[in-house]
Amino acid sequence: MSETTSVPLARTIDDAGVVTLTLDDGDKNALEPATFAALIDALDDDEATAFVLAGRPGILTAGLNVKWMAANGHDGVQDLLVRFGECLMTWWTEPRPTVCAATGHAIAAGTMLAMACDHAVAAEGSFWGLTETRIDFEIPEFGLALARANVRADRMEDLLLPGQRIDAAAAVEAGFADEVVAADEVVTRAQAHAAQLAALPARAYAGTKHRLRGEAAEAVRRHLAADIDALTTHLTP
């Protein structure tokens, strides 16, 4: 069974109920509000026992769509970032297992998407990192919340303050991702891991996830609009 949404997000489901959602715009998988809406809506799937979020060959996503941002001005950028935060927190707190199949580069927003999943499989040769500082942008609180939950405490500031870009092996060592495999094995490995997680008792899995992340996610949501407003005050209206 398969179908495609109005944005380039293809859906397939296997016999174990693992739904694979594949971003593929034929280019850089740049993210915009419609993408975030589709990713949130995709979780409203009663057939799914688990979700795999995959990219196209060579890339998970190059990050936010800068052309869209330039065309939509200050208010558009604010809206884009709020919607991105909502999307990340929704995926981070999804009760069912979520696994990222990072089929290639996962810079900035791509690293955040991977960290919002329960497990992330990185492709050999890919690059990762929260590189916002390098483009004169502060990391939103939703990105910091994900980093605090994933990145080794002794690496956090060394990676985030200068916005370091690192390779897949270093991303696993730091905590951005959980394992690295050959690029052509990423999706199948992610699907297999998702099936393993889906085989665990669903009530306990969901409850433990909520205990781990619920309070932090709710804090992000409460202050999301104000945080983004503060981050974008320097942008030209």
DSSP the chain: -EEE-SSSEEEEE-TT-EEEEEE--SS---B-HHHHHHHHHHT--TT-SEEEEE-BTEEEE--B-HHHHHHHHHHHHHHHHHHHHHHHHHHHT-SS-EEEEE-EEEETHHHHHHHTSSEEEEETT-EEE--GGGGT-PPPHHHHHHHHHHS-TTTHHHHHTTT--EEHHHHHHHTS-SEEE-GGGHHHHHHHHHHHHHTS-HHHHHHHHHHHHHHHHHHHHHHHHHHHHHHTTTS--
pLDDT tens, per residue, the chain with 237 residues? 333 335 689 999 999 999 999 999 999 999 999 999 999 999 999 999 999 999 999 999 988 988 888 898 888 999 999 999 999 999 999 999 999 999 999 999 999 999 999 999 999 999 999 999 999 999 999 999 999 999 999 999 999 999 999 999 999 999 999 999 999 999 999 999 999 999 999 999 999 999 999 999 999 999 999 999 999 987 655
Is 237 inside a domain boundary? no
Is 236 inside a domain boundary? no
Q: pTM value?
A: 0.94
At residue 234, the pLDDT reads 76
The total number of structural domains that make up the chain: 1
At residue 28, the pLDDT reads 92
Q: What is the CATH number of the domain that holds 105?
A: 3.90.226.10
At residue 94, the pLDDT reads 98
At residue 144, the pLDDT reads 98
**CA 104 from centroid of its chain's CA atoms:** 13
Distance CA 164, CA 178 (A): 18
Distance CA 191, CA 163 (A): 30
At residue 237, the pLDDT reads 56
Which structural domain range is residue 98 located in?
2-231
Is 108 inside a domain boundary? yes
Is 177 inside a domain boundary? yes
Among 125, 122, 135, 127, residue whose Cα is nearest residue 162: 135
At residue 236, the pLDDT reads 58
At residue 2, the pLDDT reads 36
At residue 3, the pLDDT reads 38
